[in-house]
């Protein structure tokens, strides 16, 4: 049981005390989207419970939120056939549509999407426990991502609106779609990271099957009708159900041309291996990470502490880019620990809609148990919990826990905790954190905290080929979305950014001809008569 001082008010609400603007109705989500139809599901349903418990008539239980189709593999295959039909081997209306018209569809989608913000924010709070400001930010960032993608595509199209002459060959080189894309986003950003792959895949002319993550499923419901109304039949399809049964079947069928998956490397490898013709499969993957921060003796400690608090504990540490291990140089260890611990102890534990709530309920029902195992393992091997409240949990609430000193014998040293535990390792020699990074299975990002240009410079060169982003006096993060987001080793495959995503979901393709009078005349006739959607020098403004 949690210590009294941390539950001075009850952490979970009574049904009646939930504020009006946070209250949500149960949603029995009984349809899926296939071939432009909202199809009524007649099979079994999975129930959705919130990580938020509610006191109701004397009992404290996770709030029931609704249900969704527990689709079987054969139905998933039928949905895939709808996506294949819309693609029609690249001859469908959507893959051959002019870019400007595809953009019009996306813009009409955006207009409707903007009206869903209030609802989306509520679902994010109830389904994954994300606090209100972060839920709103996730929605707004998605809107910006859509707008920026449209602009980037226009720019890409403008750059390709010309013919090139090289070694006696005229050519127009553009980017074309690849085929049918299976998109699966993660539960920590069920909206934003879904659109980070779904949108570029769509706008480049692919057709898409989207399967929501394990949490953040009902929030997709308002989008089904909008997808149906704004895109041609079969261009976007939404399936539900167990990943092994649905995504597994789709991969085994060989009908998936691109796998866009954000989740664990274990599942990604499983899915990739199921494809019978791996040479035909393109994969765009955002996977595991254990980003370290190295806090050096000459760091500005205020900055280092502030960045490390949000870096480790924003959304309870459930970000792939979160700082998951801190290496602190011994000279400043005491002061850093003191300041860091003090800040962590100030973080408000509360419900997602409560003002300033930072630590909120965890959506994975078994997570507290897993986090406790990591903590007990570390304690048994010599670490201590250094902050008040550390190690305490109350149903889905897990209090931030700083473990010190951590060493390589502990599970927390190498396992990605994806939760509110902060392991701290003291070091004398910079080679210690460098070795950790070189030997790690992960290679996403690192943060370095120092105010010494020579020190920073001496670390950039050995680290730049270990990770894909070095953050100086700044936490690790994905944004801004204009910058490349990727990783080495088990952390990613392919690069996502507004521009890179347009590239990974398309293939360079061209029309070429030998430089002769006859061929030039033929090209002119096609261009001037606007006879082809592809071979065209029209400009998009």
The rounded distance, in Å, linking the Cα atoms of 251 and 257 is: 9
- How many other CB atoms sit within 10 Å of the CB of residue 20? 5
Residue among 184 and 337 whose Cβ is closer to ligand G3H: 184
Say if CB 259 and CB 272 are below 8 A apart: yes
Q: Least distance to ligand G3H from the beta carbon of 475, Å?
A: 8
Q: Least distance to ligand G3H from the beta carbon of 161, Å?
A: 33
Q: Least distance to ligand G3H from the beta carbon of 219, Å?
A: 17
Q: Least distance to ligand G3H from the beta carbon of 291, Å?
A: 10
Residue nearest to ligand G3H (CB): 320
Residue among 130 and 275 whose Cβ is closer to ligand G3H: 130
The rounded distance, in Å, linking the Cα atoms of 538 and 529 is: 11
The rounded distance, in Å, linking the Cα atoms of 332 and 426 is: 10
Q: Least distance to ligand G3H from the beta carbon of 478, Å?
A: 3
Residue among 122 and 475 whose Cβ is closer to ligand G3H: 475
Instruction: At 288, give phi and psi (nearest 5°).
Output: -75, 160
Residue among 105 and 475 whose Cβ is closer to ligand G3H: 475
Exposure class string for 167-205: b at 16+ Cβ within 10 A, else e: eeebebebbbbbbbbbbbbbbbbbbbbbbbbbbbbbbbb
Residue among 321 and 341 whose Cβ is closer to ligand G3H: 321
Q: Least distance to ligand G3H from the beta carbon of 342, Å?
A: 24
Cis peptide before 446 (omega within 30 of 0): no
Binding interface with ligand G3H (CB under 6 A):
188-189, 193, 319-321, 477-479
Instruction: At 479, give phi and psi (nearest 5°).
Output: -80, 175
Q: Least distance to ligand G3H from the beta carbon of 502, Å?
A: 18
Residue among 193 and 257 whose Cβ is closer to ligand G3H: 193
Query: CB under 8 Å to 528, separation ≥6 — which residues?
Result: none
The DSSP output letter for 392 is -
What residues are paired with 485 via a beta bridge? 496
Residue among 172 and 497 whose Cβ is closer to ligand G3H: 497
Cis peptide before 331 (omega within 30 of 0): no
The rounded distance, in Å, linking the Cα atoms of 343 and 473 is: 18
Q: Least distance to ligand G3H from the beta carbon of 306, Å?
A: 16
What residues are paired with 59 via a beta bridge? 56
Residue among 130 and 174 whose Cβ is closer to ligand G3H: 130
What does the angle CA 69 – CA 74 – CA 80 come to, to the nearest 5 degrees?
Answer: 90
- Six-digit token pair at 247? 């995504």
Q: Least distance to ligand G3H from the beta carbon of 177, Å?
A: 25
* 289 HSE (CA, 13 A, CB side): 35
Q: Least distance to ligand G3H from the beta carbon of 501, Å?
A: 13
Residue among 320 and 410 whose Cβ is closer to ligand G3H: 320
Exposure class string for 364-382: b at 16+ Cβ within 10 A, else e: beebbebbeebbebbeeee
């Amino acid at each position: 049981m949690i210590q009294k001082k941390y539950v001075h008010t009850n952490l979970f609400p009574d049904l009646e005390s939930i504020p009006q603007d946070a209250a949500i109705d149960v949603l029995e989500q009984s349809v899926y989207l296939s071939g432009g139809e909202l199809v009524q599901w007649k099979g079994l349903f999975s129930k959705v419970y919130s990580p938020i418990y509610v006191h109701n008539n004397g009992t404290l239980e996770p709030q029931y939120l609704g249900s969704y189709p527990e689709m079987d593999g054969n139905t998933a295959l039928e949905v895939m056939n709808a996506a294949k039909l819309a693609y029609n081997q690249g001859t469908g209306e959507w893959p051959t549509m002019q870019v400007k018209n595809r953009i019009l569809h996306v813009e009409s989608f955006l207009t409707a999407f903007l009206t869903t913000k209030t609802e989306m924010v509520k679902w994010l709070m109830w389904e994954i426990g994300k606090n209100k400001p972060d839920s709103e930010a996730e929605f707004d960032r998605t809107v910006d991502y859509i707008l920026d993608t449209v602009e980037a595509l226009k720019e890409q199209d403008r750059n390709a609106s010309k013919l090139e002459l090289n070694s006696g060959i005229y050519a127009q080189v553009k980017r074309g779609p690849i085929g049918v894309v299976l998109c699966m986003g993660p539960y920590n950003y069920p909206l934003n990271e879904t659109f980070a792959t779904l949108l570029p895949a769509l706008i480049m002319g692919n057709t898409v099957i989207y399967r929501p993550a394990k949490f953040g499923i009902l929030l997709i419901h308002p989008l089904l009708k909008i997808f149906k109304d704004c895109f041609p039949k079969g261009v976007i399809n939404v399936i539900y159900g167990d990943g092994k049964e649905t995504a597994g079947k789709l991969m085994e069928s060989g009908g998936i041309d691109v796998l866009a998956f954000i989740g664990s490397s274990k599942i990604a490898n499983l899915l990739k291996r199921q494809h019978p013709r791996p040479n035909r499969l393109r994969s765009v993957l955002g996977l595991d990470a254990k980003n370290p921060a190295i806090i050096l003796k000459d760091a500005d400690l205020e900055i280092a502490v502030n960045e490390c608090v949000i870096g480790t504990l924003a959304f309870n540490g459930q970000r792939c880019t979160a700082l998951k291990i801190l290496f602190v140089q011994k000279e400043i260890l005491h002061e850093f620990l003191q300041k860091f611990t003090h800040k962590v102890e100030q973080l408000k534990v509360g419900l997602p809609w409560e003002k300033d709530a930072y630590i909120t309920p965890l959506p994975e029902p078994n997570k507290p148990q897993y986090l406790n195992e990591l903590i007990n393992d570390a304690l048994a091997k010599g670490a201590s919990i250094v902050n008040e409240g550390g190690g305490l949990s109350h149903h889905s609430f897990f209090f931030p826990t700083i473990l010190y000193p951590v060493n390589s014998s502990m599970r927390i040293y190498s396992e990605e905790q994806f939760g509110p535990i902060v392991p701290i390792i003291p070091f004398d020699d910079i080679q210690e954190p460098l070795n950790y990074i070189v030997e790690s299975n992960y290679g996403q990002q690192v943060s370095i905290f120092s105010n010494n240009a020579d020190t920073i410079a001496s670390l950039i060169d050995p680290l730049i080929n270990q990770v894909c982003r070095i953050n100086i006096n700044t936490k690790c993060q994905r944004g801004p979305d204009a910058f490349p987001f990727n990783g080495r080793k088990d952390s990613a495959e392919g690069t996502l950014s507004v521009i890179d995503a347009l590239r990974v979901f398309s293939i360079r393709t061209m029309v070429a001809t030998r430089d002769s009078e006859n061929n030039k005349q033929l090209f002119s006739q096609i261009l001037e008569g606007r006879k082809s959607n592809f071979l065209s020098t029209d400009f998009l403004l």
